[in-house]
Amino acid sequence: MNDRSDIIDLRSDTVTQPCTGMRQAMLEAEVGDDVYGEDPTVIALQKRVANDLGFEAALWCPTGTQANLVAMLAHCARGDEYLVGMEAHTYKYEGGGAAVLGSIQPQPIPQADDGTMDLGVVERAIKPIDPHFARTRLLCLENTWMGRALPLDYLADVRGLCDRRGLALHLDGARLYNAACASEVAPREITRHFDSVSVCLSKGLGAPAGSVLAGSAKLIDVTKRWRKVCGGGMRQVGILAAAGLYALDHNVTRLADDHARAARLAAGLRDVTSIRVDACHTNMVFIEVPADRLQALATHLEAHGIRASIGYLPQVRLVTHLDISDADIDRAIHVFQSFN
Ligand SMILES: *Cc1c(COP(=O)(O)O)cnc(C)c1O
């Protein structure tokens, strides 16, 4: 089971290998120095994402963490505050970057099981204009959240609140295309509510690296400076942008296959007595295992060449992606069924 090709890696949709077509597109990419704004492939990718999502401009960033960070740095100044879900990536999983690098204070807000925040609670967390308080400037959402697509009417309500209270609204859309697929709408129907949106090319879309931040021309201009400050100004990066363009052309509509496979995996696990399927949304399945059985499960999966994300969340997370086939799902179900 040590041969890589034998391992079924369900830890994350970040583990995909670029396919031959993507590698060919990278090989043939026209490139230039992107710090001088001269990389035609980066320019094409940025234009493509801005147009698709309904924004004036976009900026390629090496990671989603950096795309979110430069957005927060552009929306907020030192001593400002952003409101954010307590379990959100932009609060919990980005090393506190906005506070560390921007002196921007997070105000975490509890989230319901579906990822939404009570908008009354959000509104009461907005600080009065008073020297005692940080200045509340920004609200951040995440879609999908734990694999769930946020309800579209919730997005409209959040936009209404931000308009009423003068807040900017940022979307961590690392898995925006999964959300659009699950909600059966064009991505624009989600992004139209936001002032800025980051999308990951390196999750379900299968590129080796890269995220794109979209927003107004003015905002993107500011983020370009912050990206340089963060060390993210890169040179002939069209090689990676070409992978992103390939991903948008080939790997968006097929996300529905990942969602169907996750649903089939969840259905197959429902019969396994020692585990409980907690949730299955888009390409993610969450299972609960009694604490005293967790190590045994980890050992069992490892022995049978299955990788799962264990230890970051109370649940075990299984994620489908480009490199997971129907046969892999069958084998994974079989391995779980032999755990007792
Ligand atoms: C992966 C991810 C990001 C960005 O992560 P990077 O690894 O820095 O690209 C941001 N938000 C969410 C929800 C993510 O899953």
Residue extents of the structural domains in the chain? 20-250, 254-337
Is the beta carbon of 84 within 6 A of some atom in ligand 1? no
Contact 200 CB / ligand 1 (< 6 Å): yes
pLDDT at 232: 97
Digit-coded pLDDT (tens) for 286-306 = 999 999 999 999 999 999 999
Average pLDDT value for residue range 209-234: 98
Please write the tens of the pLDDT for every residue from 89-129.
Answer: 999 999 999 999 999 999 999 999 999 999 999 999 999 99
Residue 67 C-alpha to ligand 1 middle, in angstroms?
9
| CATH class of the domain at 20-250 | alpha beta
111 vs 273, higher pLDDT: 111
Give the whole-number percent of the chain exceeding pLDDT 70.
Answer: 99
Hey, what are 228's tokens? 């340089």
> Atom 14, ligand 1: which residue's CA is nearest?
174
Q: Scanning the structure block, which residue is given the tokens 């500011």?
A: 222
Tell me the average pLDDT of the chain: 96
Question: b/e per residue, 87-118, with b = 16+ CB within 10 A?
Answer: bbbbbeebeebbeebbebbbbbbebeeebbbe
pTM of the full predicted structure?
0.97
For ligand 1, is residue 264 a contact (CB within 6 Å)? no
Q: How many angstroms separate the alpha carbon of residue 131 from the centre of ligand 1?
A: 34
CATH topology of domain 254-337: Aspartate Aminotransferase, domain 1 (3.90.1150)
Residue among 143, 203, 284 to mutate when testing ligand 1 (max atoms within 8 A of CB)? 203
User: Position 193: which residue type?
Assistant: H
From residue 189, alpha-carbon distances to 55, 195, 215 in Å are: 12, 13, 15
Instruction: Cite the beta strand spans of 8-111 per DSSP E.
Output: 8-9, 57-61, 80-85, 105-109
- Give the mean model confidence (pLDDT) for residues 64-91: 98
Statement: residue 200 has pLDDT above 60: yes
Instruction: Give pLDDT, residue 1.
Output: 42
For ligand 1, atom 2, name the residue with the nearest CA. Answer: 174
